[in-house]
Amino acid sequence: MERRNCMTCGADLGEAFGWSRMVNCAHCGTAHILRDAVFAAAGSAGVFHDAPGLVRLMQPVQTLQGRFLPVGVVRFSYGRGAWDEFWALDDLGKGAWISVDEGDIALQRPVAAASLPAAPRERSAVIAFDDRDWTVTEAETATCLAFRGQLPEVFVLGDQFTFLNASSGDGRILSGEFWPGGHAWFCGPWIDPFDLGAK
Amino acid sequence: MRAEVAEVACPNCGVGLKALGGGRVVIQVCTHCGSALDAVDNFRLLKTHAELPRPDTPLKLGDKGRIQGVDWVVIGILGWSEAKRWTWTDHQLYSPSHGYAWLTLEEGHLIFSRAWRGAMSPTWMTERGIETAEKPPEIAARGQSYRYYETTDAKVTFAEGEFSWAVMVGDRSKTLSFMSTDAMLTLDQGPEREVEISTYPPQAETWASFGIKAAAPLRVHPLQPRRVWRDERFLSGLGAVATLVATLAWGVLQSQGNWVEPRVLPKAGGLEVEAELPITTTTGVVELRIRTDVYNAWAGIETEVTDPSGTVLFQNAREVGYYAGIEDGESWSEGSQVTSIYFRPTEAGDYGLSLSVPEGGAGEGAGGPSLSRPSLTVYEGRAASMWMLMALVLSALMAGLPLIRDWLHNRARWRGSDWSDD
């Protein structure tokens, strides 16, 4: 595993570049991108106002689905509020997104299926996935506000995308993200904040 | 988390309204004029409800307290009414880390509720499903079974502060409730299909965390855990030991006494028995054990006992009945073919006994006695064991105290359920 240093201040950026596509310097805040073996500084990682939360960067959390170490976080705005997406590694080093929004916490991994639409749907629309009907409960636009740590994708401050959340009543949340020329789907269980423990 | 909004001015009356809730607040109702403001659309005026009667609650907006180890702030207050008879107050709580919850004040009880997004089986239940069910429907969740409790159709009578859902005075909400041993799942029948889980927080501790001293409520709330008496387990254990001792003593007492051979007189016939009882001692009591062969039938037995001088000592009427059968492959029986009568002899000598069976019938009917002539066994010198029997009953009650109290408490918890087997 290759070690990298910050291109602005020279600080050690850690060792997680095996899977990471983006890392933020904990010392000076400069974001770095690794793309096609080219390592480059990407400028500011945004202002990250500290907010009370049950999930914190580099502090392991125990869920009913196992233990996770959040190694990176992206904050998105949905207008009147914001939520955090933590990129977290389980004990096998496999990554998942932990979404945290004022007590609404979900653990999601990427999913793919032919039935999942490539374009956003409105609230109350029904989507077929995993032999169930999923009703869209939320459909809004998100803006990337800031990021920290190590992330598996490249994020750009101010970038916007449309997202939707859907529920089938089985304790999971299905989320779709849509941007010009692309989309992605994620699915996983809701996590009861009272079941979440620090480990 | 919420974008920075600390205070907004009511567009109707101009009063400053504190923004206490987070980013999921969608409605803010003015504390001064009752105007509902759209928190998603720059606090646009939606509606005004003035002069609404305030619900009776000691909690107010901005009050802070601690429940289940989490610090909460009261951001909204809702008054509810069902059929104008039942009223309660919901307080919307907010925590930056745990989101939104409700603290309900109902007949002096505090109930803590929050959204439940975990798996349930079945995943949903409708009012129609309840109406067509033959037994109370159940939901499996959190490793527990939740049995149908009630359907509530309530109206919002008062609103003040911030709310995470678009609520207005006059709005109606229909919910189905299911209760387990310690929690309740409430299924909102609205289009959002939301599920809440409610629990009963420690009352005094919760009130104290909000800085309020409240009186203990009188009636039992469905979610209220049973209060265990300080010495309940000790008393129950003591009762169990006493029951064991009393049972052994009862057995010893029952084995005391001597068999007496009655001289059955030939003059009686049919189901009648005339006998002389040669009693030799006045110590203890005499037991007249009457055995019949009633089977799926009953019989009324009358007895008269005279002392050695021929004076009637007592008259007695007893009913014996014994029923048995097989139902769903299981055999069952109830009642007894045997009955005992006790009396204390006044002197030694020959006592007279007259026994007759004037009535009876097969099954529950009264078509006449359906049995052979009863047989008689007599013992004298039996210990008077009534006090021991009472001690046995009392000690058994003491041993079963927790179970009895559990049963009574559960009955009180389910008293408000609207389920009917009809």
Whether residues B55 and B173 fall in one domain: yes
Asked, for residue B413, whether it belongs to a domain, the answer is: no
| B347 assigned to some structural domain | yes
Residues of B in contact with A52 (CB under 8 A): 96-97
Judge if B277 and B151 occupy the same domain: no
- Give yes or no for B1 touching A (CB within 8 A): yes
pLDDT of residue A37: 53
Q: What is the pLDDT of residue A80?
A: 65
Query: What's the average model confidence in pLDDT over A127-155?
Result: 90
- Interface check for B216 against chain A (CB to CB < 8 A): the answer is no
Which domain covers residue B197, as residue numbers?
7-209
Domain-embedded: residue B388: no
* B200 & B261 share domain: no
3-state SS class at A4: coil
**B68 contacts chain A (CB < 8 A):** yes
- Reduced to 3 states (helix: H, G, I; strand: E, B; else coil), residue A193 is helix
| Partner A, chain B 7-46, Cβ-Cβ below 8 Å | 22-25, 39-40
Quick one: DSSP state of residue A36? T
Angle at B70 between CA B66 and CA B71, to 5 degrees: 55
Q: Which residue of A has its CA nearest to B3?
A: A81
**Same-domain status, B205 and B264:** no
Query: In this complex, do A168 and B123 lie within 8 Å of one another by their Cβ atoms?
Result: yes
The verdict on residue B244 lying in a domain is: no
Q: CA A125, A130, A131, A132: dihedral to nearest 10 degrees?
A: -40
DSSP A59: B
Residues B179 and B290 placed together within one structural domain of the fold: no
Say if the Cβ atoms of A103 and B117 lie within 8 Å: no
Those residues whose C-beta lies under 8 Å from the C-beta of residue A180, and which sit 6 or more positions away, are none
Cross-chain Cβ contact B123/A170 below 8 Å = yes
Residue B233 lies in a domain: no
**Which residue from A81, A135, A192 is facing B3, i.e. has the nearest CB?**
A81
Q: Which residues of A touch B191 (CB under 8 A)?
A: 124
Indicate if the pLDDT at residue A52 is higher than 70: no
Tell me how close the Cα of B420 comes to any Cα of chain A, in angstroms: 28
Among B22, B94, B97, the residue with its CB nearest the CB of A54 is B97
Smallest CA–CA distance from B123 into chain A, residue: A169
Find the residue in A nearest to B164 (Cα).
Answer: A102
Specify the amino acid at residue A59: Q
Count of pairs with CB atoms under 8 A, one residue in A, one in B: 79
The closest alpha carbon to A70, from A85, A49, A50, belongs to: A85
In a domain, B84, yes or no: yes
Chain centre to alpha carbon of residue B261: 52
Helix axes B232-254, B401-413, angle to 10 degrees: 120
The residue of A73, A76, A80, A192 whose CB has the most chain B CBs within 10 angstroms, and thus the best one to mutate to test that interface, is A80
Nearest to B124 among A104, A169, A173 (CB): A169
With tokens 């607040």, the residue in question is B25
Residue-range domain boundaries for chain A: 1-44, 61-198
Residues of A in contact with B96 (CB under 8 A): 51-53, 102
Of A80, A103, A137, the CB nearest to B99: A103
**Any idea which of A22-26, A101-105, B363-367, B373-377 has the lowest mean pLDDT?**
A22-26
Same domain, B312 and B177: no
* Structural domain total, chain B: 2
In 3-state terms, what secondary structure has residue A58? coil
Q: Rounded to whole angstroms, what are the CA distances from B153 to B126, B131, B173?
A: 13, 15, 6
Cβ contact A124–B191 (<8 Å): yes
Contact (CB<8Å) A51/B1: yes
Interface of A with B (CB under 8 A): 51-54, 77-83, 101-104, 124, 135, 137, 167-171, 173, 190, 192-194
The Cα of B16 is separated from the nearest Cα of chain A by a number of Å equal to 19
Q: Do A169 and B3 touch (CB under 8 A)?
A: no
Mark yes or no for CB contact B192/A137 under 8 Å: yes
Inter-chain contact B123–A79, Cβ cutoff 8 Å?
no
One pLDDT digit (tens) per residue for chain B, 422 residues: 555 556 788 888 888 888 777 767 778 888 888 888 887 677 777 777 777 888 999 999 999 999 999 999 999 999 999 986 789 999 999 998 899 999 999 999 999 999 998 888 898 899 999 999 999 999 999 899 999 999 999 999 999 999 988 888 999 999 999 999 999 999 998 776 789 999 999 999 999 999 999 888 888 999 999 988 889 999 999 999 999 998 998 888 777 889 999 888 876 667 888 999 999 999 889 999 999 999 999 999 999 999 999 999 999 999 999 999 998 888 999 999 999 999 999 999 999 999 999 999 988 787 888 888 889 999 999 887 778 888 899 999 999 999 999 999 999 999 999 998 77
Note whether residue B409 is domain-resident: no
Chain A nearest CA to B53, separation (Å)? 32
In a domain, B46, yes or no: yes
